[in-house]
Structure 1
Amino acid sequence: MMRALLILLALALPAAAQEESIVAGLSQSSVSITTNYVGSEILIFGAVKRDAPRPQGALDVIVAVEGPHTPVVVRQKERTAGIWINTDAVRIDSAPSFYAVATTGPLDRILNQTDDLRHRITIRQAIRSVGISSETEEPQAYMDALLRIREGSGRYRINEGSIWMDQQTLFRADVALPADLTEGQYRVRIFLTRDGHVIDMLERSIGVRKAGLERFLYTLSREQSALYGLLSLAMAVLAGWGASVIFQRLRR
């Protein structure tokens, strides 16, 4: 009898966990980087679908927008004889080129550490640095330096309390994308949390690619580097000559 009750309880738990789920969409699924691209804004909108009366407890939403991952080398500089020089360097296995987190409330209140570790939601968890401890005695200092640099440039950002939510059902988040985007697939993850626990997650993607003249120059630099170099040199000479002509006319 006891065994049968345990089996029924185990079967009931997944169903209970899915009493609330996310239904969401994006304002756009692709971004084209052109010569006049100065950044854009992505609107994430959605609702909470319920198959039962709303449970007790605080319901919150977290949105994480993540750019392509690349290895990163973080260097330490020291001032020697009045000159700043690189001394030590540490390689971080994989860090997102862009990472933005928007929430309905403070992260330390709406997300517990266990679920953060499982889903890699916060910026620190999104960075993978498996072997950094073997390269330096101060791995945390290098991680802090990477975060400080990318937060200062706007590549990493956390906007707590920026998601609008109505009646714990409808929600909306606006995430600004900078002008210096890296090409590739951007992952958009939407998390539904109750009392700090993730109860549902939905994932979407945004394709970012260069277009027009930007695409032509990018492809040329990768596929025909010699021609790209000659073209760059010719443009520099032409620009110099043009500036010289204008300067001479102004002097007359």
Structure 2
Amino acid sequence: MRTVYICFVIVLLLISRTALSQEIVLGLSKNEVGITAFFDGSEILVFGAIKPNKAIETNVPVDVIVTIASPRQPVTAWRKEKKFGIWVNVDAVEIDLAPNFYAVATTAPFNQVVNAVSDLRHSISVERMIRSVGAPMEVDEPNEFSKAIIRIRQDQGLYQTLPGAVILKENMLFSTAVTLPSNLLEGEYVARIFLTKEGDVISYHETTIDVRKVGVGRWLYNLAHTHPAFYGLLSLAVAIFAGWLAAMAFRAVRS
């Protein structure tokens, strides 16, 4: 399957050699991801080619960075302390913008493929993708809240740093695979590809991936948001019916 994708990229490359303003030809194995009731994750193959250009036809090798991000949204981070034997929330910081899912794959260790200035300008690293402008004055070490969000979502497989996961052949063809976990939120995800040389971003391209609930999951989601009262009654009826079935099964086993 990957051979087919690479051949497709080569055809695109030959067709568009005259358009030197664009240096990256990009393709995805899928532009849509459907979240069903039994969705257990998915994998997206990102592949492409670097078109010959005087800016990159030098003895200095180029590197490729691939990122996939969900829409960013606010999130509240809490700090817990143990008081009287009970863990309670004591401090909170509102993170202005943070993606629920973010993956960054590179051809080499991150610090070797992009410098701090380019990272700041393009928000490539996980830390730069999280925006936290202000925090309450009484909160100590507010940066620790952002680090906690990163740590928790890394443990959940939602934040992924994949050094060396991008395969670059002959300084022209590249490919990588990004695994999407089962606990995705729907929305328009953005796939970005950066071409770097000596740590500087010299070319950039992006496309979108539509992640949506489908089937029964979509029907239940729409029902909960458009008719919440009916959804609540339906949930109650299902719970009562399930309890009745469990009771009948228990009686049958005992008898």
TM surpasses 0.5: yes
1:221 pairs with 2:215: no
Q: Secondary structure at the match of 1:154?
A: coil
Q: Secondary structure at the match of 2:250?
A: helix
- The residue identity in structure 2 corresponding to 1:30 is E
Name the counterpart of 1:137: 140
Name the counterpart of 1:61: 64
Q: Secondary structure at the match of 2:51?
A: strand
Note the 1:68-147 alignment, pairs <5 A. Answer: 68-132=71-135, 134=137, 136-147=139-150
Question: C-alpha displacement at 1:244, in angstroms?
Answer: 0.7
| 1:19/1:51 contact within 8 Å kept | no
Count of residue correspondences: 235
Question: C-alpha displacement at 1:58, in angstroms?
Answer: 2.3
Separation in 2 of the partners of 1:155 and 1:98? 5
Tell me which structure has the larger Cα radius of gyration: 1
Give per-residue Cα distances to partners, 1:129-178, cap 9 Å, x unaligned.
11136463311211111111111111111010011111111110100111
Question: C-alpha displacement at 1:27, in angstroms?
Answer: 0.6
Q: Which runs of 5+ in 1 are unaligned?
A: 1-17
Name the counterpart of 2:241: 238
Question: C-alpha displacement at 1:51, in angstroms?
Answer: 3.1
Question: C-alpha displacement at 1:91, in angstroms?
Answer: 0.5
- CA RMSD, Structure 1 to Structure 2 (Å): 1.4
Counterpart pick for 1:148 among 144, 148, 151: 151
- The residue identity in structure 1 corresponding to 2:197 is R
Q: Secondary structure at the match of 2:248?
A: helix
Q: TM-score, normalised by structure 1?
A: 0.90
Q: Which runs of 5+ in 2 are unaligned?
A: 1-19
Separation in 1 of the partners of 2:251 and 2:168? 62
| 2:79/2:92 contact within 8 Å kept | yes
Separation in 1 of the partners of 2:21 and 2:196? 13
Give per-residue Cα distances to partners, 1:61-103, cap 9 Å, x unaligned.
0001000111010001011111111111110111011100001
Separation in 2 of the partners of 1:203 and 1:24? 8
Counterpart pick for 1:28 among 30, 44, 50: 30
Q: TM-score, normalised by structure 2?
A: 0.89
Name the counterpart of 1:207: 210
| 2:196/2:202 contact within 8 Å kept | yes
Counterpart pick for 2:183 among 180, 184, 192: 180
- Give the 4+ runs in structure 1 shifted more than 4 A: none
Name the counterpart of 1:14: none
Counterpart pick for 2:49 among 40, 47, 50: 47
Change (3 A) 1:133 1:55: farther
Question: C-alpha displacement at 1:121, in angstroms?
Answer: 0.3
Question: C-alpha displacement at 1:246, in angstroms?
Answer: 0.7
Change (3 A) 1:89 1:110: same
